Amino acid sequence: MKITDLEIDGFGVWNNLTLTNLSRRITVFYGPNEAGKTTVMQFIRSVLYGMSPARRRRYLPPVDGGRPGGALGIVEGELQFRASRIADRGPEDLGRVVCTASDGATSGDRLLREALGDVDEPTYTNVFAVSLDEIQQLGTLSGTKAAEYVYRLTSGLDRVSLYDVIQELQASRTALLSEAPAGPQASRIVSLVARRDQLRADVDRLREQNRLWSQLAVKIKELDDEIAAVESQVRKAEHHARTIEIAVGLKTNWRKREKLNEQLDLLSGRVKLPADAIERLNAINADVEKHQRQADVLQGQRHQLRDEAERLGINELLVRNAARIDALGEQRDWLMSLQRQQQDLEQEAKQYEARFGSEQKRLAEALGVKDAARLRDLSESDFEALQPQIDALKAAQRRLESAQRDLEALTESERSLRTQIETAIIGGESHGLPMDLQEASNLVARLRKRLSVEQRLEQARQHEVELEQQSHDLLDDQVMPLWLFGWLLATFIIGALMLGVWALVPSSPFGKYGGLVALVGVGGAAFAWVFKYFADDAAAEKLDACQRQMEVVAKQIAELEREKQQVNGELPMTDGSVVLRLQAAERHLVELESVLPVEAQRKQAGGEVGTAEARVDQAQRELNQMLAHWKAAIAALGLPESIDPQRLLCVTDRYGQLAELEARARHRRDEAAARQREHATLVRRIRELAEEVGCVLKPKAHGPQGPVAKPAGDLRGASEGKPAAGAKTYIVEEKPAAAAAAEATVDPLDQLDHLTSERRRQLGDVERREQLKEKAKELKAEEGKHLQTIATLKRRRAAMFQAAGCEDEQQYRMLAADQHQAALLANQRDGVTREIAAAIGRHEPEEVFAQLLSPDSIGALDQMWEQATADLDQRQANLKELAQRRGELHREQTVLAQDRSLAERQLDLSVVETQLAEARDDWRRHAAVSRVLERIRADYEAHRQPETLAEASRYMAKLTAGQYTRIWTPLAHDELLVDTVGGESLPVEVLSRGTREQLFLSVRLALAAMYARRGVNLPMVLDDVLVNFDAERARRAAEVMCEFAAAGHQLLLFTCHEHMWDMFIQLEADCRRLPMRRGAPIAAVAAVAEAPPAPAPPVEKPKKKPRRQPAPKSTPAATRPAAVYEYPFVERIIEEPLRARRASKSDAETAAPDPVDAEPSEFHEYSFEAAAADEPHAGADHALAYIVNADAELARRAAKTRASGAAAYRWTDHLAPRSA
């Protein structure tokens, strides 16, 4: 199951949150503290398993509103659906699940339960969902509690441990047999034995005559034991003889392999070269020659570019001041604008002064003041004091105008309503329609009824015509068509003839088929008669039905005619179509209905007209009162009362404009002065820059050409150092002071244009020089690359010689030739070894044959074969003789058994013995299972840990860089042990907090992988599980999670650390930031810079037999110089998780790092190889007599398991992607 998207309608702090296109591998969500990460994880649990009371108390109702719940997009194989859960039906509601398929079909929670694979919520919480709370809980536990917590996680919360099974078996055995004395508390077997002994004493008194039968039984039992011992010896003798026989056949190949090993030993002990070593050496030599030629060509090109750059002449002062020249060049338009602005501002100032005088004169005339200077006595505040009264006058005037407009509008509205009513009444009278609304409504109803009667009458008449036509057709059908009648008549005649020929003619031409032909004839005649009868009857029935319908329709027409006459009597006598009359009546009815509200509106409009007239009178009185106040205020200022307020308001505005004109004139004078100062500043900067770079124009006193510049060849001392060769500068010729004063000054724009043109010319030369420099740098860099490549190739070649232990190339080539010869010999030896292994098969280990084929005993193999054959024949003869003796005794015992005189005591004794045998069998079974479990436990603790712990061990090794290599548990104790790289087993309580969390994470990943192999592949949700990891282990944990997700598992990881988010981005995972909630922006967190791990030095391939050693501890490696070349074929040796336990020395040297065949887990191939004779011999009643049968049963099961392919495992990385 994979989650593709989620949508939260309302849950906790989230509202209308949508996350789409989630990766099917790993998705990392970043968000700061209190961003709602844990809320999203709890939402996923809630949708999958419901709103539990704990989650409801914490997350519901939503903080920001919304429907409580949301939906998840889920993909399960080929099925894609959307599961939504809304919990709005009460405080105890878990939420109703609705699953919507891709085709829109909806259903209950069936699809969700099938996708979950019947995994309940506790299992999902303990395996697939890891939150920060669990990490914190693990950190707060003591060492012992933390160890117990992790152990219970590995053994499962819903399973019984093997240790509990062993304890239960021990208790059952104690109940069956214990050392307690006889009595009420005695065990079952002891009680039964006491009862048996008592019964035997009673029986012995009654069967003294049967002692001979008992003696025979004892002898038979002894013979059975002796035969069993002899059979065991015979099997051993057969096995030994077969072993010697195989050894005799292996002598030739064994000696051949020893010779090949001796030759290989002479060639061994030297460094192993790769297969393509000579090809690599030749390629390096060719690359060195090629790069050397290219480096020489590039060096010549670079020297040519340097000479060309030296031939360019550049004025350095001008180049250094290019930015200043460009800046002044950009000010050229501004300089010209300053000149124009200065002239325009002076002209505008003069215009404003003239307007000020004329405006002052006009204002005095407008106010009726003869002396214009007297206007200065009236301040602007005096005019502003009149402003409220002017505003009040305007408001009164506006109110009067508004009241008048309202009065006119209401009058017009009343007039239009009156006209509308009169129009409606006149239209109805012209058509003769009633003016009353009720009468008009009744008229419309009668007209509609009249129209409906006419329509039904027309339909009935059409139906009558159709029935009449149908009756004519049915009347014609009463006579059968001639062609059909002819066919029926012919069928009847032919059938009658066939029947007559069969009945009347004895020698019928039909022969033995006469009866069948007659039967066919009878059937044909009967069919013709029946068909004729039913056809006539059906035609008559149809005609009768049609006539009955005609009668019904005639009655309906008569009834409709009467109803039509009745309706016509109710309607007034008028001419014209009923449809037109109905339409006119309906329109008239609509007009009458619309007149009713219009009449009410007209009455309301009449009242509003009276109100509007009162408002007009009130506004007129207010306006008169305001005019009286205005005249008093004007007289107080000494102005004539005849001044109109509107005119005074215009004069007031003009008075303010008068002050504004004066201020504008003064402002223009100030701006003109400022422009003059800016212009002078720019001119001074241009002149100083020209003098500094030596490009001053020489002014011309005469002639229309204007100023010209005189170039100078060399200018010494103008700048620091000497200028570049070919640099051009400009000087000003010295003249007497009188002549210089008489000359005109140089135009600053011409001087600026001259500087700009020189700057562009010099810029081209500088760009050319820079291009040459860049090209020279590129050539030098390329040359350096070739030289560096040459040095690298030489170091690689030297490293190859050094790794091979050779001083020069000749020794290296000789070593490669010797290695090729050794490879050929090794192939021959491997072929001989395969033949030896095929001959041995599974009979005995190769070490047994190595002893037999040693130089000391290989010559005596034939003699040993003869002795083994003779011994086997002797033992088989003894077995045959013992079997004959046992048969004779059985016959004698059978004769004695014919006397059946057993009593009640003997019957009781048999019952007790049966119970005792059953109790012993139960004890034996319990003891056998206990013994087997004890043996399995010993092997289990060493080699066969559970699949979950083995997988967790691989994760732990990756997370800790090989520091901890194995996680296992002894079955006799409820604890976990962790093996370090040095082989030390540590309990969980001594581990650090971070290492415990890594162990916790490893076990969770292994459990999830185990469930996935069982077909339950649910997404894992991890909330800040890396919070206590250091930077290096966090990076390794991120890589392990990405590999785990690549194997087909989906991970949803939440983190509040941005550097962890960046690590997953580097691993190309699907990384997202949680969206903002409540408008709060997410603060950017500075990424934590981590130093990259130092590269480990190359590890040479071991020369001796590799031993099972743990990976080295992660210690800081010394920084390798950049010049050291890592030889390509010296690869780092990574030890496989499991090695073959019985790999020979030759196999270890030549084995490739292919996947190693794993030993089967549990006891797929487990068998107890100890023979039955190795156990202490005991009688039939001994408790350990079960071992032989148990060993045989386990061996049989192991063989059956191997035959069914259950042990065909290969150890491959479980993180590799698997196909479905």
What is 1021-1047 written as a DSSP string? EEESTTTT--HHHHHHHHHHHHHHHHT
| Of 1170, 1164, 1172, 1186, the residue nearest 931 (C-alpha) | 1186
Return the pLDDT at 1126.
36
Q: How many helices (H) and strands (E) does the chain have?
A: 33, 16
CA distance 1091 to 266: 48
Torsion angle of alpha carbons 66, 71, 72, 76, nearest 10°?
Answer: 180
Maximum CA extent, the chain = 179
Burial 352-388 (b: 16+ CB within 10 A, else e): bbebbeebbeebbeebebeeeeebeebeeeebeebee
CA distance 1111 to 960: 11
Which residue, chain included where needed, has tokens 């990943």? 1005
Q: Which residues pair with 328 in a beta bridge?
A: none
Q: Is 455 exposed, middle or buried (0-12, 13-18, 19+ CB in 10 A)?
A: exposed
CA distance 852 to 245: 11
Torsion angle of alpha carbons 748, 752, 755, 757, nearest 10°?
Answer: -130
- To the nearest 5 percent, what fractions of the chain are helix, strand and coil? 65, 5, 30
Element (H, E) at 795: helix 748-804
Strands across the sheet containing 96-101: 14-19, 2-11, 69-76, 79-86, 96-101, 106-107
CA distance 652 to 1214: 96
Residue 1053 CB partners (closer than 8 Å, separation 6+)? 26, 27, 28, 29, 1022, 1025, 1041, 1064
Rg (CA), the chain: 60
Instruction: Say whether pTM exceeds 0.75.
Output: no
CA distance 1013 to 1105: 36
CA distance 51 to 59: 9
E strands, 691-744, where?
Answer: 711-712, 729-730
Q: Which residues pair with 1021 in a beta bridge?
A: 129, 1052
Return the pLDDT at 645.
66
Where helices occur in 980-1022 by DSSP H, the ranges are 993-1013
Is 838:250 a contact under the CB 8 Å cutoff?
no
CA distance 839 to 249: 8
What is the token pair recorded at 801? 């010689």
Return the pLDDT at 1200.
52
Instruction: Catalogue all structural domains in the chain, each as residue range(s) with its CATH number.
Output: 1-119+1017-1074 (3.40.50.300), 170-247+864-937 (no CATH), 1141-1220 (no CATH)
1110: preceding bond cis by omega (within 30 degrees): no
CA distances from 177 to 915, 924, 927, 932, 1216 (A): 14, 11, 11, 19, 53
Which residue, chain included where needed, has tokens 């005249």? 631
Residue 825: how many CB atoms within 10 A of its CB?
A: 16
CA distance 648 to 135: 88
Angle, in degrees to the nearest 10, between helices 904-942 and 1187-1203: 50
| DSSP 8-state assignment for residue 270 | S
Return the pLDDT at 390.
75
CA distance 550 to 1214: 89
Element (H, E) at 74: strand 69-76
CA distance 128 to 1003: 11
Helix (H, G, I), strand (E, B) or coil at 728: coil
CA distances from 1196 to 145, 922, 932, 1190, 1192 (A): 43, 22, 15, 10, 6
CA distance 254 to 858: 10
Helix (H, G, I), strand (E, B) or coil at 1072: strand
CA distances from 30 to 11, 33, 682, 896, 1019 (A): 19, 10, 58, 93, 18
Helix (H, G, I), strand (E, B) or coil at 580: helix
Is 15:63 a contact under the CB 8 Å cutoff?
yes
Return the pLDDT at 538.
84
Return the pLDDT at 252.
81
| Of 693, 705, 694, the residue nearest 747 (C-alpha) | 705
- The pLDDT averaged over each successive group of 10 residues in the chain (1220 residues) is 91 89 90 84 89 86 86 89 88 86 86 83 79 58 50 48 68 80 70 84 69 79 88 86 81 81 75 77 86 86 81 73 76 79 81 75 65 58 70 79 83 77 62 64 76 83 86 78 82 82 69 73 83 82 85 86 79 65 72 69 77 83 77 66 64 67 78 82 81 74 43 36 37 38 62 78 79 85 88 85 80 80 83 83 79 76 82 86 86 70 73 88 88 73 64 86 83 74 84 81 83 85 82 87 90 87 88 71 41 40 39 39 33 35 38 38 35 38 35 49 41 35
